[in-house]
Structure 1
Amino acid sequence: MGGTGTVQAEDAAGEWRISLPLPAKQATDQLFTAGGNAMALMFARAVVGRHGGSVGVRSAGGTAYLEVVLPKEADR
């Protein structure tokens, strides 16, 4: 991904939300396809998913964000 950005962390109802703004050219579903950073992102999505969370892309105010959501209390 490269470059600089501001990581935002939010304490939301029962979960943690961590967001990182993305350059426009990377703000697509292609982030999770083979090649480049995709392998690491696919691994992160799998690990976070095993803990009841998600990794995805969301848009707000014309900016796209890579977002990680984790429950505060993981199912065991």
Structure 2
Amino acid sequence: MSTTSTPDNLELATTAREMADQAPAGSLEKAVAGSVAITCATTRTYQEAIDVLGGIQPVEVRRPAIEFLERLAVAAR
């Protein structure tokens, strides 16, 4: 995926934060969306965010977080 065709990281962060706020407390959905929101808010590019998410712990959150960010980016185009 090209970084030129992806939305701004701050837009992705805002969307992810909204979804995290709506997710049930303690749920995997909340952890995933929250992780993506923080990562996108603190990185400059989509690819940098993907790279950072690749190191997320616990591992059970890593793959869903990357997949969630990919879906957000596609939906925001």
After TM superposition, is the score higher than 0.5? no
Higher relative contact order (CA 8 A, sep 6+): 2
Whose radius of gyration is greater, 1 or 2? 1
TM-score (norm 1): 0.34
Greater share of helix: 2
Greater share of strand: 1
TM-score (norm 2): 0.34
